Amino acid sequence: MIVYVLRRLFLLVPVLVGVSLVSFALLQLVPGDPALILAGEEATEEVLARIRQEYGLNRPLPVQFAAYLRHAVEGDLGISIQSRQPVATLLAQRFPFTLKLAFLAIVVSATLGVIAGIVAATNRNSSLDIAALLGSLVGISLPIFWLGLLAILVFSVKLHWLPSGGTGTLAHLLLPALVLGAASSAVIARTTRASMLEVLRQDYVRTARAKGVSDRLVVYRHALGNAMIPILTVFGLEFGYNLGGAVLTETVFSLPGVGRLIVEGIFARDYPVVQGALLVVATTFVLVNLCTDIAYAFFDPRIRYD
Amino acid sequence: MPSSILESATTEPGRSPTRRSPGFWSDAARRIVKSRAAVSGGTIIVVFVALALLAPALAPYEPLRGRLVDRLQGPGPTHWFGTDELGRDVLSRVLFGARISLQIQIAAVGLALVLGTALGVVAGYWGGWSDTLIMRAVDIMMAFPGIFLALAIIAALGTGLGNVIVASAIFLVPQFARVVRGSMLILKEKEFVEAARALGEGDVTIVMRYLLPNSLAPIIVQTTLRMATVLLTASGLSFLGLGVQPPSPEWGAMLSNARAYMITAPHVATVPGLAIMLVVLGFNLLGDGLRDALDPRLRE
């Protein structure tokens, strides 16, 4: 197990270097002189020379990339063009919010999805099952930003149940989390259903039924535990995807997360912010996926560690 | 068996001889027609494509021109879906928006299909260092969750229809590369490939004539499902203001505009959102139905 974890950590290195390369290359891919982009259109030749010196833009690209990597590892992601604050500081302010939102979304969708999946699997081919299947199909087909607008209209404007934006209490985050988690709920419900059906076919479940264990106990005590293993993996994957969905959710609900930060950064051509946000989000995503894989290997002893 | 297959290959060069069995596609067609998911999804898509193609004939008004006196009217007999903040007819805009969506979907998925298949073939068939290199690149691309890879590309290239297509396509390339590579890895070990090689067929012929035709089923399923993903990505970019720009009646851009009038005129946001959802649902339904019909693992 330890060897497996170490090996996976080792394999992570090229991916993380690659992710940094993509984020580093961003500034190079923008048409025009990087110094001019960083300094602004009206910059004088002296300012440009100073910027080139400061950011090391007159050095060869591989050297620049090595420096970028070294700084990133040290937590130095450059200075925002717009706010003149260190990008790392901005991310420290914004990223925890997005993590909280994505986490809450996965809690909400795990609850909804697992319940719907169990109900569908234990009532196979009933109208409940068909409703759950159709519901999950609609769930993965809904554009998250539209669902968000509708949710604001119904729950905030018409019913006044929940606030439409802002932060502070859990109630502020509930609607965004529900919206962000809608697609995840659908995926989790589908996986739970499939996994439950698979487990309910097993011999030991038949044995339990044969010796007279009640249906409820068979499902929750005997089957669910084993059915949960593949579902756990989906939790991890969906948490990662929710980081992506957060960009749209934060825009709809005007929330101060990293998604808004990157979109505002793109509008303002504040490339250090965009680069930093990309790097941090991708690194988190990769780490979450790694943890998911390790958890899967840990919970399912049948998985070989090689 | 391989010899008879190859015999037919030499006598009938136009037809691909190595399809799973003569009846595979007709069996699949029968299952597709019987699949409720595939038929309902297919119906939605046929209607969507027809509306997109016929938009200029069907739209009652011009999509870009409105009368300010008619602004933000609710649905009624003159404007079925009402008007937007500039008095433009929402129905006409949604119809013309279908053309833009279809254009983005075909271009982006087509681009991703070609690039992804090429990468998948090289990685899966040739293997070795090219496989390592390509799959590492795929890992790196997949390290950006959801829309982030598309955002990175937009940040570098800028907004607009063409860049949305490029960004959405690159976002999908890893998916196609993985599917095709997986298929290549399985197929290249098959006897008929060995037989073809023994007969002196070159790599390109083997790939084009034997491997790709046999990988069609998973590629078709992927293509269908990705038509759904790409619409969500592209309209999401436009909603953020980073995709197709107003006044273009792209559905995501329409929603972005409609946000400001959500409370007074919710119909302006309802219709384009519903349109995106229906088209995405259609492709998801068809993709699911096709997967069930074409996936040999589910055949009993």
Average pLDDT per consecutive 10 residues, chain B (300 residues; last block may be shorter) = 40 46 77 87 95 89 80 81 84 93 96 96 92 93 91 91 94 94 91 90 89 90 94 95 92 90 84 95 93 66
CB distance B280 to B45 below 8 Å? no
Supply A40's token pair.
């602004």
* ω into A62 cis (within 30 of 0): no
Residues of B in contact with A19 (CB under 8 A): 140, 143-144
Element (H, E) at B263: none
In this prediction, residues A201-214 reach a mean pLDDT of 85
Helix, strand, or coil (residue A143): coil
Q: Which residue in A has a C-alpha nearest to residue B235's C-alpha?
A: A143
Report the C-alpha gap between B17 and A84 in whole angstroms: 65
pLDDT tens digit sequence for A62-120: 888 998 899 888 888 888 888 889 999 999 999 999 999 999 999 999 999 999 999 99
Report the C-alpha gap between A235 and A175 in whole angstroms: 20
Element (H, E) at A43: none
Assess whether pLDDT exceeds 50 at residue A197: yes
Helix, strand, or coil (residue A200): helix
DSSP state of B73: P
| pLDDT of B154 | 93
Report the C-alpha gap between A115 and A91 in whole angstroms: 36
DSSP A75-89: T---B-TTT-SBHHH
CB distance B33 to B43 below 8 Å? no
| Beta bridge partners of residue B83, listed in sequence order | B89
The answer to whether B263 contacts A157, with C-beta atoms less than 8 Å apart, is yes
What value, to the nearest 5°, has the Cα angle with vertex A79 and ends A74 and A80?
Answer: 135
Q: Which residue in A has a C-alpha nearest to residue B280's C-alpha?
A: A141
The answer to whether B288 contacts A137, with C-beta atoms less than 8 Å apart, is yes
CB distance B91 to B62 below 8 Å? no
CB distance B35 to B287 below 8 Å? no
Report the C-alpha gap between B259 and B196 in whole angstroms: 60
d(CA A185, nearest CA chain B) in Å: 16
Q: Which residue in A has a C-alpha nearest to residue B229's C-alpha?
A: A141
pLDDT tens digit sequence for A256-282: 999 999 999 999 888 899 999 999 999
Total H helices, total E strands in chain B: 13, 0
Q: Which residue in A has a C-alpha nearest to residue B140's C-alpha?
A: A15
Report the C-alpha gap between B19 and B213 in whole angstroms: 7
CB distance B227 to B283 below 8 Å? yes
Residue A303 confidence class, pLDDT cut points 50, 70, 90: low
d(CA A208, nearest CA chain B) in Å: 28
DSSP state of A211: T
Residues of A in contact with B228 (CB under 8 A): 141
| pLDDT of B9 | 41
Neighbours of B173 (CB within 10 A): 23
Q: Which of B144, B146, B258 sits opposite A278 (nearest CB)?
A: B144
| pLDDT of A166 | 67
What value, to the nearest 5°, has the Cα angle with vertex A220 and ends A218 and A224?
Answer: 100
Q: Which residue in B has a C-alpha nearest to residue A145's C-alpha?
A: B236
Supply B148's token pair.
């982030």
Residues of B in contact with A142 (CB under 8 A): 277, 280
How many residue pairs from chains A and B have C-beta atoms closer than 8 A?
137
The answer to whether B266 contacts A153, with C-beta atoms less than 8 Å apart, is yes
| pLDDT of B296 | 57
Q: What are the start-end ranges of the H helices in A61-210?
A: 61-73, 87-122, 127-141, 144-151, 170-200, 203-210
The answer to whether B255 contacts A146, with C-beta atoms less than 8 Å apart, is yes
| pLDDT of B1 | 37
pLDDT tens digit sequence for A38-70: 777 777 888 888 888 877 788 888 888 998 899
Q: Which of B44, B136, B144 to mutate to test the interface with A (most CBs of A within 10 A)?
A: B144
DSSP state of A165: S
Buried b (16+ CB within 10 A) or exposed e, B140-155: bbbbbbbbbbbbbbbb
Q: Which residue in B has a C-alpha nearest to residue A283's C-alpha?
A: B143
Report the C-alpha gap between B90 and B63 in whole angstroms: 8
| Beta bridge partners of residue A86, listed in sequence order | A79
Among residues B65, B90, B71, the alpha carbon closest in space to that of B80 is found at B90
| pLDDT of B2 | 41
Q: Which residue has the tokens 């607009």?
A: B160
Measured CB to CB, residues of chain B less than 8 Å from chain A are: 136-137, 139-140, 143-148, 151-152, 154-157, 228, 232, 235-236, 239-242, 252, 255, 258-259, 262-263, 266, 269-270, 272-273, 276-277, 280-281, 284-285, 288
DSSP B117-172: HHHHHIIIII-HHHHHHHHHHHHHHTTS-TTHHHHHHHHHH-SSHHHHHHHHHHHH
| pLDDT of B13 | 42
Residues of B in contact with A15 (CB under 8 A): 136, 139-140, 143
| pLDDT of B6 | 40
The answer to whether A266 contacts B151, with C-beta atoms less than 8 Å apart, is yes
Phi, psi of B89 (to 5 degrees): -70, 120
Supply A91's token pair.
């991310």
- Listed in sequence order, the residues at least 6 apart from A7 whose beta carbon sits closer than 8 Å to its beta carbon are none
Residues of B in contact with A14 (CB under 8 A): 136, 139
CB distance A124 to A192 below 8 Å? no
